[in-house]
Amino acid sequence: MTNPPSQFTPEELQQWQLAIAEADRHNIWCHCRQCDAEWVASTPVNCPDCGSDRVERISCWQFPDD
Ligand SMILES: [Zn+2]
């Protein structure tokens, strides 16, 4: 399990945990290379903003640990 950076404030830590929980529920973090939109999804989908299929997808368990 990924640990939060130690410099997080309690408020930032809560937001981090919410973001992880959100990603865990939907499983896939998505980033549009076309318009730079970010969202989470349970299935691979095109960008909801611009419709591009140039989408970077990262499963929640693959978040970089830094
Ligand atoms: Zn887009």
Q: Does any domain span residue 21? A: no
| 61 pLDDT more than 70 | no
Interval between CA 60 and ligand 1 midpoint (Å): 20
Phi and psi for 29 in degrees, rounded to 5?
-90, 130
Domain of 51, in residue numbers = 26-66
Here the tokens at position 14 are 């809560």
Interval between CA 50 and ligand 1 midpoint (Å): 4
Q: Please write the tens of the pLDDT for every residue from 13-59.
A: 999 888 877 767 778 889 999 999 999 888 888 999 999 999 999 87
Query: What is the structure's pLDDT at 38?
Result: 94
Interval between CA 33 and ligand 1 midpoint (Å): 7
Interval between CA 46 and ligand 1 midpoint (Å): 8
Which has the higher per-residue pLDDT, 34 or 1? Answer: 34
Q: Does any domain span residue 11? A: no
Q: Residues 2-23: what's their mean pLDDT?
A: 83
Rounded Cα distance, 22 and 13, in Å = 14
CA 63 to centroid of chain Cα atoms: 8
Interval between CA 58 and ligand 1 midpoint (Å): 16
Is the pTM above the cut of 0.85? no
Domain total of the chain: 1
Helix, strand, coil share (%) of the chain residues, nearest 5:
30, 20, 50
